[in-house]
Structure 1
């Protein structure tokens, strides 16, 4: 399925624009045969025989994909007849994500953003790190160390959290350090800088998607039992694939203290199954039906 990007300019005032624009666009698309998503309310799908048209709304932008060039031309004509809009063309950049479309693959990255983070915090000339964190160091409040600049620490964490949109390799380690934003210590800041140094040497990393005919939804989950040195809570983690393509991932501290590794694993598996059920329902709206497999 090819992907195009369309930029729509509404003529509504600032106070009414978000809701009024969405309602007006929704009514227009539904009246032209599009079905509104039940899980994702910004998704609109139109089926015509074996052809499929998908439109995803983000504020006043629309990213759409199609299986027929005629459906695209008809869609653009319909939108131009009702709204002031311009066709940007093939999707190459969207909400901070760089998209490179090739014949059989799509590569998504945030390399420009990654380099801007490194430059912002003055670490472009620092030595690169081979890993985002040292395996022998435990996350801790470190009460003995001095408190560092809270604004600087929060800025670093916020920048890295946004980068995890295309960098699952740093999701786990980045997810641990927001816990210390209230009183960040010098040791915490050193470890966050290490992550940025790792990003500096891996700024071109991203995710490659292939046109895989396999639609099996597979999830992998794990937990680090009592990984937090402060409260002995574990962290659940999961990665989800559609065929051979990574489509979602998460890393989240568990709400309760697990008394055994088995309990921590069960909590992680439960969180992963919840995600898989949601994604299965979501994929139905994209006309993708598949089985589900979970590995713990």
Structure 2
């Protein structure tokens, strides 16, 4: 797919309709496996799209193959992109997390995503479905924040053991009600 038309994003909104019983001959498993390897090593920008594509490894449909091909089209247009680490970067640990609410239409589970940066470069990232069904967007964001915080504290401890204590630890979340829940520990329902 090196001569294909480039995609601007790794995932699209629309889905291709297809027959449920349709069997397609495509090396889907191998393609998704290679994308999983890439997304966990050097390309956090495709992590969400790859995790979504990997949910249908057993019985891929036409829409799944179209989604995987879109990821490859995105990669062919961004082949020069990658991670950059600078030696003179500060030791500030910054975590960003987010969640969608009930984004998986089949299970109604939310998907969490987070990126942890040391200085200017990302050192850890994750995109995966939450293990439980969240009852609100606040709860979905709180679960994402808890997962991200656990990983951030692990990295902070690891850096401390390597005598590279971070100068500062910042935690960024965009949901105001989840921030209030984290600060106070009290969840107020509006009746």
TM-score class normalised by the smaller sequence? 0.7 to 0.9
Which residue of 28, 31, 45 corresponds with 1:153? 28
1:49 corresponds in structure 2 to none
1:125 corresponds in structure 2 to 3
Tell me if 1:174 matches 2:39.
no
Asked if structure 1 preserves the Cα contact closer than 8 Å seen for 2:99 and 2:144, the reply is yes
1:143 deviation in Å?
A: 6.3
3-state SS of the aligned residue for 2:112? Answer: strand
Asked if structure 2 preserves the Cα contact closer than 8 Å seen for 1:212 and 1:244, the reply is no
3-state SS of the aligned residue for 2:84? Answer: strand
Report the number of matched residues: 171
Structure 1 stretches (4+) deviating beyond 6 angstroms? 140-143
CA gap of 1:127–1:274, structure 2 versus 1, over 3 A, is same
Where structure 2 has 5 or more consecutive residues not aligned to the other structure, the ranges are: 174-191
**Aligned-pair Cα RMSD in Å:** 2.0
Relative contact order, higher structure (CA 8 A, sep 6+): 2
Tell me if 1:206 matches 2:62.
no
Where structure 1 has 5 or more consecutive residues not aligned to the other structure, the ranges are: 1-122
Tell me if 1:294 matches 2:171.
yes
1:182 deviation in Å?
A: 0.9
Asked if structure 2 preserves the Cα contact closer than 8 Å seen for 1:222 and 1:237, the reply is yes
3-state SS of the aligned residue for 1:177? Answer: helix
**1:23-172 paired onto structure 2 within 5 Å:** 123-134=1-12, 136-137=13-14, 144=20, 146-149=22-25, 152-164=27-39, 165-172=41-48
Tell me the TM-score normalised to structure 2 length: 0.83
Higher-Rg member (1/2): 1
**1:242-261 paired onto structure 2 within 5 Å:** 242-261=118-137
1:282 corresponds in structure 2 to 158
1:241 corresponds in structure 2 to 117
Structure with the higher strand share, 1 or 2: 1
Distance in 2 separating the partners of 1:145 and 1:224: 30
1:210 deviation in Å?
A: 1.6
Distance in 2 separating the partners of 1:141 and 1:212: 50
Tell me the TM-score normalised to structure 1 length: 0.54
